Structure 1
Amino acid sequence: MRVVIVEDNVLLAEGLRLLLDLEGATVVAVLHTADEFLPAVDEHAPDVAIMDVRLPPTYRDEGVRAAAECRRRRPGFPVLVLSQYVEHVYSAELLRQGAGGVGYLLKDRVSRVDEFLGALRRVAAGGTAIDPEVIEELLRRQHRDGPLERLTARELEVLSLMAQGHSNGAIATLLAITERSVSKHIGNVFAKLGLPADDNAHRRVRAVLTFLNASSGI
């Protein structure tokens, strides 16, 4: 896995590089500004990017805007965004392209190495990995009369865990139900959201994106 890191905190950037090196990934570039990102993607052809939301010079939204522009030019390009806090507007910005391969984690999650690496692998493979705290915030913002209104409370719970990147087995364990029940709930979610019967993994990503977009109000 070839990775570009864009992080202005040198200590965190080097820590990420060391961690990924130990995991056998190839860090093709470590950058500290958003302006360096798009040229680096063109030059190194990475499989995934890890990017801070706030980067120089204004430390507002340079990172997420660069990530969104990259995904506009290269639809589905995998980007895992790191943020110090839950910032709804930035998580929504990344979802506008409506493709998989997107992650949004709080920086505290990096210290949970297995969770972080699992999220990075899912994003690189075209899946999603949304921080549980971000999911909670999106659920609080859920709009009425949207596609999620057709889901039961349990189906919505299953879908939110899917958005975090959990497998069917993990969802079953977390909800203390059988894996067969999880599969049934997911089938109901697909049907109620009107997702066509194509590749199951593709439908899973589309269901998660529907959930995130509807919850974000975008």
Structure 2
Amino acid sequence: MRVMLAEDGALFRQGLTRLLEESGFTVAAAVGDAPSLLAAVRDDPPDVAIVDVRMPPGFRLEGMDAALRIRAGHPHVGVLVLSHHIEAQHAVRLLGDDPRRVGYLLKDRIAEMSELADALTRIVAGGAVVDPALVAPLMGRGRAGGPLARLSERELQVLALMAEGRTNQSICRSLTLSPKTVETHVRNIFRRLRLPDTGDDHRRVLAVLSYLRS
């Protein structure tokens, strides 16, 4: 898998580059600002780009803006945005109307290389990766006086894991449930929320996240 990395902190950038390469990824470019990333993606699109939210020169949202431009101009390039803080409005903006090949994680989440590798693999496969710390406030906001109030506590737990991009198998492991039980909960969630049960994991993530954004 070919990865491009945009991170202004030289030590963090070098360390992450080394970890990625040791884990079998090819780091095609590791740059310190958004314009350099955009130029690298334009010249030789990677499988996925890892982008810090705030980057030079203004340290505002240059990284997020670059991620959105990559998504618009190179839809087959996956994008993983990293942030120091939970910023729901930025995550929702990134997910847009088509949360495929995209992810939003807190930097603290990538302390374990296995978690980062799993996120990149899921993104390149067409999935969405959302930090669990972001799913919780979205769930709370959506439930207040809304259709989520129709769900049981267990169904809410399953929905939260679905919103993170988890497969049924992963939900089984997380909640210690049988596959048949998880399948029943998923069907009930779609029925109660009037969401299309297509049987496609990526489409269900799209449906769930679209609902939570509302």
Q: Using structure 2 for the length normalisation, give the TM-score.
A: 0.88
Q: Which residue of 2 aligns with 1:200?
A: 200
SS of alignment partner, residue 141 of structure 1: helix
Q: In the TM superposition, what are the counterparts of 1:68-147 in structure 2 within 5 Å?
A: 68-75=68-75, 77-142=77-142, 144=144
In structure 1, the gaps of 5 or more residues are: none
Deviations 1:168-217 (A, max 9, x none): 23322322322211111112333444444545233333234324423xxx
Shift of 1:55: 0.4
Rate the CA distance shift 1:192–1:41 in 2: closer, same or farther, 3 A: farther
CA distance in 1, matches of 2:64, 2:193: 28
SS of alignment partner, residue 59 of structure 1: coil
Rate the CA distance shift 1:127–1:177 in 2: closer, same or farther, 3 A: same
Deviations 1:141-163 (A, max 9, x none): 32656564554433232121122
RMSD in angstroms over aligned alpha carbons? 2.2
CA distance in 1, matches of 2:72, 2:7: 21
Q: Using structure 1 for the length normalisation, give the TM-score.
A: 0.87
CA distance in 1, matches of 2:60, 2:110: 21
In structure 2, the gaps of 5 or more residues are: none
Rate the CA distance shift 1:96–1:145 in 2: closer, same or farther, 3 A: farther
Rate the CA distance shift 1:188–1:210 in 2: closer, same or farther, 3 A: farther
- Check if 1:62 corresponds to 2:73: no
More deviation in 78-87 or 161-170?
Answer: 161-170
CA distance in 1, matches of 2:10, 2:85: 19
- Check if 1:30 corresponds to 2:64: no
Amino acid at match of 1:3: V
